[in-house]
Chain A
Amino acid sequence: QVQLVQSGAEAKKPGASVKVSCETSGYTFINYGINWLRQAPGQGLEWMGWISPYNADTKHPHKFQGRVTLTTDTSTSTAYMELRSLSSEDTAVYYCARNPPIRGHYDSSGYWDYWGQGTLVTVSS
């Protein structure tokens, strides 16, 4: 069965970086995109970016460009999200989510059919 298992909770100081992993199983990793989203306390879901494990292409909303790095390790079927220059506003639960390549491996279109369990990142001095 398809599974996305994320790394554990993190506590960080302002200005630090965090790297969250998303280990996948039960499907062919390079055939599906991986998205990262977050939910801050009391807020809705926010999309942070997409990566194609097929060719390492990435897409981000302008808000996160330059501060987020998405990578994958195809040898372990794992995706990673690194967020730099953390502030208290980055305190949130972070999710990875898979998307079928409905318009091919070079296009980030797609709904999110399987999700990781979420990783709480707390930023506090």
Chain B
Amino acid sequence: EIVLTQSPGTLSLSPGDRGTLACRASQSVRSSYVAWYQHKPGQAPRLLMYGASSRASGIPDRFSGSGSGTDFTLTISRLEPEDFAIYYCHVYHSSQRALGGGTKVEIK
């Protein structure tokens, strides 16, 4: 069973800062089947990235994803006020399915 560990648990940043969120898998992820979601209170989660580095439709280019094997990263180049939320990573191969525990990006 694959386990995803997201770090840090909470990231305190100011608008305009760069945010780097990490997701580490307990085993190598097949085909880089990693997605990232943004979740705000009272709203449905929103797909940001899939295939580790492909941006979903309508997602601003300040969001980028990278990584392979066991280590993956979501980067927000310049935080906008609407980016403060919880972010989840997700491995979506049917034989390795897992969700990370989330990283909360809060206003410093």
The interface of chain A, by Cβ under 8 A from chain B, is: 44-47, 59, 95, 97, 99, 102-103, 107-118
Q: Which residues of B contact A116 (CB under 8 A)?
A: 44
Q: Mark B28-59, 1 if CB is under 8 A from A, else 0.
A: 00000101010100001111001000001000
Chain B residue contacts of A47, Cβ below 8 A: 97, 99
Q: Check B94 against A44 for contact (C-beta < 8 Å).
A: no
How many chain-B residues does the 8 Å CB contact rule pick out?
21
Interface of A is mostly: loop
Take A45-B88, A107-B94 as given contacts and tell me if A113 and B45 are in contact as well, using a CB distance cutoff of 8 Å: no
29 contacts between A and B (CB under 8 A): A44-B86, A44-B100, A44-B101, A44-B102, A45-B102, A46-B99, A47-B97, A47-B99, A59-B94, A95-B44, A95-B45, A97-B45, A99-B92, A102-B33, A107-B94, A108-B94, A108-B97, A109-B92, A109-B93, A110-B92, A111-B33, A111-B92, A112-B35, A112-B92, A113-B50, A113-B56, A114-B47, A117-B44, A118-B44
- Given the complex, which residues of B lie within 8 Å of A103, measured CB to CB? 94
Interface status of B24 (Cβ within 8 A of chain A) = no
Say whether B99 contacts A112, CB under 8 Å.
no
Contact A44 B88 (CB under 8 A): yes
Tell me which residues across on chain B come within 8 A of A108, comparing CB atoms.
Answer: 94, 97
Determine which residue in A45, A99, A113 has the highest number of CB atoms from chain B within 10 A of its CB, and name it: A45
Interchain CB contact under 8 A, A44 and B99: yes
Q: How far is the CA of A112 from the CA of B45 in the complex (A)?
A: 9
Interface 1/0 per residue, B70-108 and A, CB below 8 Å? 000000000000000010101011100101111000000
Chain A residues near B47: list those with CB within 8 A: 111-114
